[in-house]
Chain A
Amino acid sequence: MSTLPLLKVNDVSKFYGSRIGCRNVSFELYAGEVLAIVGESGSGKTTLLSCLSTRLMPTSGIVEYHMRDGQYRDLARMGESERRFLMRTDWGFVHQNPADGLRMTVSAGANVGERLMAVGDRHYGNIRATASDWLERVEIGVDRIDDQPRAFSGGMRQRLQIARNLVTSPRLVFMDEPTGGLDVSVQARLLDLVRGLVHDLGLAAVIVTHDLAVARLLSHRMMVMKDGAVIEQGLTDRVLDDPREPYTQLLVSSILQV
């Protein structure tokens, strides 16, 4: 296992005109590590995630990624072709709304197989076998392989989206509110699944969530954001059990105890 960080984020800021998206964020992410970014709506979580995943260009600051060849590359300076290739091979992006990340008009099997075909797999039998295998791993019946995601429930769609992203064995996955819009029992199953996959595959993940329970279950480390800035970061258990900043204390104390 390499001891060099997978992702190096240095002083990243994003301004929308005079409005602040996020500012002066720095951190490092290591292979196999799960980082949760929490905070209330409008605190800059999603903007930060977009800057990290090259969906947005930061106004200032550098995001560097440790490529498979061992080199660090500044994502902003990478060519578009290379960046898109990276995004569909070594990375994954799980959207809050599965319809944004799936092709709703093609079958589940083709959704999972798309990345394989994009990197040059031209054997139908192999693609289908891999797709079946992944559907099983995310607990979708193999008999549903030819159904379109339109016919799937919200939880199944989200699991399909995860399978679609993981099929090329990425090293880094970004997740934007992966459990948003799902009811609690489905959330619990999904979290269980994601935790298992992250552990088995040694994935690094950056998870944006406003749900502290999700952060507690999935992440090793967490960052708390407010008004575009990171106000507290540390090991998840430490931050949740012993919050130091007044805002974090408020956030933790506002979890509903049942």
Chain B
Amino acid sequence: MNDLATYNFAYLDEQTKRMIRRAILKAIAIPGYQVPFASREMPMPYGWGTGGVQVTASILGPEDVLKVIDQGADDTTNAVSIRAFFQKVANVAVTTRTKEATIIQTRHRIPEEKLSEGQTLVYQVPIPEPLRFLEPRETETRKMHALEEYGLMHVKLYEDIARNGHIATTYAYPVKVEGRYVMDPSPTPKFDNPKMHMSEALQLFGAGREKRIYAVPPYTDVVSLDFDDHPFEIQSFDKPCALCGAEDVYLDEVILDDKGGRMFVCSDTDHCEDRRACGHAGHMLARKEAAE
């Protein structure tokens, strides 16, 4: 030890970690229930993942391997800076490979690769309350959760169908967890909702500004809400990924020039690279290589 002031392992002090771990344990015990916790100031602005960072800091151990993704990508600003943050304050191993990671902090996506037992997915959540936009009063939404009054959630879906002819909610699509609590899966595309169902990995959700933690334990029922005559459907894409040719994955649109050129590529960069390394190629990749 030197005499200079140092950060505690993983930035947070041990009492804070203890408090957050207690909230996490309670959240795991009551799947989908939003547990209030004393969210701390973090060295980053609200909305950049303060909730997720606090959860990660509390569960991180020296042996863990951390992966951080933002919109599926490992190389975007938010992902890079959070990864660098934990390298600095916890000196843990980091990776971009989904398979190797023990903790994956994510914003807006669930990796395409199936997660397995022992892995933990930490979501950054901006607004944890699924009923918020229909019922602004916190006292009332808490009561509605307590009494299982979830009719209002369907009012939202009804409005969607009435206005657009189909359920137009494409992200933060409400789910019912273990037949009890209605939960906001954070702003992940509804494409990822089925991956939450019976997931082998532990899923933790941290909302820093709203001071809430909730969880979906492994092997838990997660059902997307819908109507009998308008069942839940995930997005589908006309073309496969332009780089790796993957189908049945979530794609991002990339504008190529100002003449209307565009391509659709995997939003999960690790998955895309993995496939290309295995020899899969999409139509744009082939063209790129030919040009070279």
Contact A110 B162 (CB under 8 A): yes
A104-131, CB under 8 A of B: which get 1 and which 0? Answer: 0111011001110111001111011000
Contact A118 B151 (CB under 8 A): yes
Confirm or deny: A73 has a beta carbon within 8 angstroms of a beta carbon on chain B.
no
- C-alpha gap A117/B163 in the complex (Å): 18
Choose from B134, B143, B151, B161 the contact partner of A124 (Cβ within 8 Å): B161
Residues of A within 8 A of B228 (CB): 122-124
Contact A117 B151 (CB under 8 A): yes
Given A122-B228, A124-B227, A125-B229, are A106 and B161 neighbors across the interface (CB < 8 Å)? no
Most buried by B among A106, A115, A145: A106
Contact A84 B147 (CB under 8 A): yes
Query: Chain A interface secondary structure, helix, strand, loop or mixed?
Result: helix
Q: Measured between C-beta atoms, what is the minimum distance from B265 to chain A in Å?
A: 35
- C-alpha gap A66/B99 in the complex (Å): 62
B128-161, CB under 8 A of A: which get 1 and which 0? Answer: 0000001000000001000101011011001101
Contact A113 B155 (CB under 8 A): yes
- C-alpha gap A128/B229 in the complex (Å): 12
Given A103-B134, A107-B159, A146-B163, are A122 and B151 neighbors across the interface (CB < 8 Å)? no
Pairs across A and B, CB under 8 Å, 7 listed: A109-B162, A110-B158, A115-B151, A117-B152, A118-B151, A125-B229, A127-B158
Contact B155 A106 (CB under 8 A): yes
Residues of B within 8 A of A84 (CB): 147, 149
A: residues with CB less than 8 A from B are: 80-81, 84, 103, 105-107, 109-110, 113-115, 117-119, 122-125, 127-128, 145-146
Confirm or deny: B262 has a beta carbon within 8 angstroms of a beta carbon on chain A.
no
Choose from A106, A119, A125 the contact partner of B159 (Cβ within 8 Å): A106
Query: Chain B interface secondary structure, helix, strand, loop or mixed?
Result: helix
Residues of A within 8 A of B154 (CB): 117, 122
Contact B159 A124 (CB under 8 A): no
Confirm or deny: B230 has a beta carbon within 8 angstroms of a beta carbon on chain A.
yes
Residues of B within 8 A of A118 (CB): 149, 151-152
Residues of B within 8 A of A122 (CB): 154, 226-228
Contact B230 A124 (CB under 8 A): yes
Q: Size of chain B's interface in residues, with CB distance under 8 A? A: 18
Choose from A103, A105, A123, A145 the contact partner of B229 (Cβ within 8 Å): A123
- C-alpha gap A80/B152 in the complex (Å): 18
Residues of B within 8 A of A146 (CB): 162-163
Given A80-B147, A146-B163, are A123 and B227 neighbors across the interface (CB < 8 Å)? yes
Q: Measured between C-beta atoms, what is the minimum distance from B153 to chain A in Å?
A: 8
Most buried by B among A80, A114, A145: A114
Contact A81 B147 (CB under 8 A): yes
Closest to B230 in A: A124
Contact B155 A110 (CB under 8 A): yes
- C-alpha gap A103/B228 in the complex (Å): 24
B206-218, CB under 8 A of A: which get 1 and which 0? Answer: 0000000000000
Please list the 6 inter-chain residue pairs (A to B) with the smallest Cβ-Cβ separation, ordered nearest first.
Answer: A118-B151, A117-B154, A124-B227, A117-B151, A123-B228, A81-B147
Residues of A within 8 A of B230 (CB): 124
- C-alpha gap A69/B289 in the complex (Å): 76
Closest to A108 in B: B162
- C-alpha gap A124/B163 in the complex (Å): 13
Most buried by A among B134, B158, B161: B158
- C-alpha gap A145/B162 in the complex (Å): 9
Contact A107 B162 (CB under 8 A): yes
- C-alpha gap A119/B151 in the complex (Å): 7
- C-alpha gap A114/B147 in the complex (Å): 16
Given A84-B149, A114-B152, are A109 and B229 neighbors across the interface (CB < 8 Å)? no
Choose from B143, B155, B161 the contact partner of A117 (Cβ within 8 Å): B155
Given A122-B227, A123-B227, are A103 and B147 neighbors across the interface (CB < 8 Å)? no
Residues of A within 8 A of B151 (CB): 114-115, 117-119
Residues of A within 8 A of B152 (CB): 114, 117-118
Residues of A within 8 A of B158 (CB): 106, 109-110, 113, 117, 124, 127
Contact B159 A110 (CB under 8 A): yes
Q: Measured between C-beta atoms, what is the minimum distance from A179 to chain B in Å?
A: 28
B175-201 CB contacts (< 8 Å) to partner A: none
